[in-house]
Structure 1
């Protein structure tokens, strides 16, 4: 009988560990017992990383120009899966547009996915109004 209880306790421990591990992977929050250790490891890792240098706005303008030309080529082209290509190109353009606006201190909407046409228009207008071109 004690052998069976030991196996059940061991199985419960393994299952609890697996559930905690899956929860950590899915939410990014470690189990309570590991939080101090994980926090110290993250501080150590962050202290060893070099500081991130911002990308100059000139390079972001060049990237926006390149992506705008790519969007036009996709729209005019006749390649398969045009809708998916266009969606990916617009999403890349939106991310570059957000980065460019952040680099020159223009307000950026907090959209998780791509921008709406209206948001994109307002951001582009704000950039042009501030004297930036791409």
Structure 2
């Protein structure tokens, strides 16, 4: 009888640990017991990570120009899956546009997906108004 109680307790601990690990993997929050250790590991990793060099705005302007011509090419082409290609090209253009605006200290909207036409227009207008061209 006592062995059965010990076995059930061990089994409950194992399943509890597995449930906690699954919650950690899906939700991103570690178990309460491991949080200090995880924070220390993240701080150690952040301290060892090199600081990336900023990309010069001239290179970002060249990339933006290349992506703008690619968007125009995809719009005029007759390739299969045109909608997916156009969406991917616009997302890449929006990402490069955000990077360029951040590099020259122009405010960037916090859109998770692509930018709306209005947001894109305002960012491009702000870049042109600040004297930048691509």
TM more than 0.5: yes
Q: 1:128 maps to what in 2?
A: 128
TM-score normalised by length of structure 2: 0.93
- Which aligned pairs between 1:30-69 and structure 2 lie closer than 5 A? 30-69=30-69
Instruction: Name whichever of 22-31 and 97-106 sits farther off.
Output: 22-31
1:24 aligns with 2:24: yes
Aligned Cα root-mean-square deviation (Å): 1.3
Distance 2:46 2:20 in 1: 25
Distance 2:24 2:117 in 1: 37
Q: 1:70 maps to what in 2?
A: 70
Distance 1:70 1:11 in 2: 58
TM-score normalised by length of structure 1: 0.93
Matched residue SS, 2:70: helix
Q: Mark the runs of 5 or more structure 2 residues left unpaired by the alignment.
A: none
Residue deviations 1:31-73, cap 9 Å, x none? 1111111111111111111112111111111111111111111
Q: Mark the runs of 5 or more structure 1 residues left unpaired by the alignment.
A: none
Shift of 1:6: 3.0
Change (3 A) 1:78 1:4: farther
Matched residue SS, 1:54: coil
